[in-house]
Amino acid sequence: MKVEAYLINLDGSHARLETATKQLAAQNFQFERFAAYDGRGKPLSDFKEYNDVKANDVMGRSLISSELGCYKSHLGCVEKFLKTDADYLVVLEDDIEIIDEQFKTTIDGMLNWLYQHPEIDWYAMNLGAKKNKLSKSIFNYAGRDLVKAYYYPIRFIGMIWSKQGAQAFYDYAAHEMYMPVDNLAQSWLAKNGKGLSIWPPLVRPNGSDSDIDGANATQSIRRNDKSGRKIGYGLKKQTRMWRDRFYAFKNLVKDK
């Protein structure tokens, strides 16, 4: 079993890299820095894969350049991983806070178990879930449950890709951008039922303002800023949520 690990970090974000590195070094967790795509201040027209009409139709708003930079950063990690002979990829964002002293031990234990159980058909595993909804425990290690996350958690602060999951997501997501990458993955995994999660979580955001999505990076425009929302934004959001929950519940019932 071979595991790759990338830490997404923007060029120049030295303090964030240092903070994350210290935490991971304390865990004896080896990783490679992945240079984040810098979308700050770029016009949306610079992103040739971006479909603004579809974004407004699906999300009820345009995306912001930092969201598209985040999207391309995560997709870049997946693309790089697919060129290796590794079985799994751990992707971490540089504002992580490790909240489990057995972070590395737990990841190793979970992946070893999955490697020995190839009948578990999975694509992605969330390490930083804020909630645990519509799930089923399939394994327990060091006080943490590995669950089938039928309603896949939204946060992308830390996650693991299987090889087949990375390939499937790249094929699905690489050619058109119209949702933030975490929203897209949540909907995709709710529909295919191949998401996993560790509960309670191993990591969470450390609370620092993002270098690529915070107010300083985006001229005070955030992804939850209301000024860019179109009429019907709330309805579109509720429609997505209930659609994803329907798929999640359907897959949960099917697996019983």
Instruction: List, for residues 24-70, the tens digit of each pLDDT value.
Output: 999 999 999 999 999 999 999 999 999 999 999 999 999 999 999 99
Gap between the Cα atoms of 74 and 68, Å rounded = 10
pLDDT above 50 for 216: no
**pLDDT of 225 strictly over 70:** no
Q: Mean pLDDT check: name the lowest of 126-130, 134-138, 218-222, 229-233.
A: 218-222
Model confidence at 254: pLDDT above 90: yes
According to the model, what pLDDT value does residue 215 have?
44
- Band of residue 232 on the pLDDT scale cut at 50, 70, 90: confident
Q: Which of 77, 18, 6, 10 is nearest to 206 (CA)?
A: 18
Instruction: Tell me if 34 sits within 8 A of 7, measured CB to CB.
Output: yes
Fold of 3-255: Spore Coat Polysaccharide Biosynthesis Protein SpsA; Chain A (3.90.550)
Is the model more confident about 218 or about 100? 100
Q: Count the Cβ atoms, other than its own, within 10 Å of residue 97.
A: 15
For residues 6-19, average pLDDT? 98
pLDDT band, residue 231 (cuts 50/70/90): confident
What is the overall mean pLDDT for the chain?
94
- Give dist(CA 95, CA 98) in Å, integer: 10
Mean pLDDT of 171-184: 98
Residue 220: predicted pLDDT = 43
Is pLDDT at 113 greater than 90 in this prediction? yes
Find, among 73, 47, 50, the residue nearest to 178 by Cα: 50
pLDDT band, very low/low/confident/very high, at 226 (cuts 50, 70, 90) = low
Give phi and psi for 42, each to the nearest 5: -80, 140
225 or 134, which is more confident?
134
Which two three-digit tokens encode residue 135?
């799930």
Lowest mean pLDDT among 5-9, 70-74, 200-204, 220-224: 220-224
Distance between terminal CA atoms of the chain?
30
